[in-house]
Amino acid sequence: MKNKIEFFGVRGDWKRFKFFCPACCSTHEFEIDNKNEHLMWNRNLEKPYLNFPIKNRSNRGADLCHCSIINGELIYHSNSTHNFAGRTIILPDWIGK
Binding site for Zn ion (CB under 5 A): 21, 23-24, 65
Closest separation in Å from C-beta 5 to Zn ion: 14
Q: Decide whether 37 or 70 has the Cβ nearer to Zn ion.
A: 70
Closest distance to Zn ion from the beta carbon of 88 (Å): 14
Q: Read off φ and ψ for residue 20, nearest 5 degrees.
A: -95, 130
Minimum CB–partner distance for residue 49 and Zn ion (Å): 18
Pick the closer one to Zn ion by CB: 5 or 24.
24
Nearest to 43 by CA among 13, 34, 74: 34
Helices (H) and strands (E) in the chain, counts: 1, 7
- The nearest distance, CB 34 to Zn ion, in angstroms, is 25
CB-wise, 42 or 64, nearer to Zn ion? 64
Judged by beta carbon, residue 24 or residue 45, the one nearer Zn ion is 24
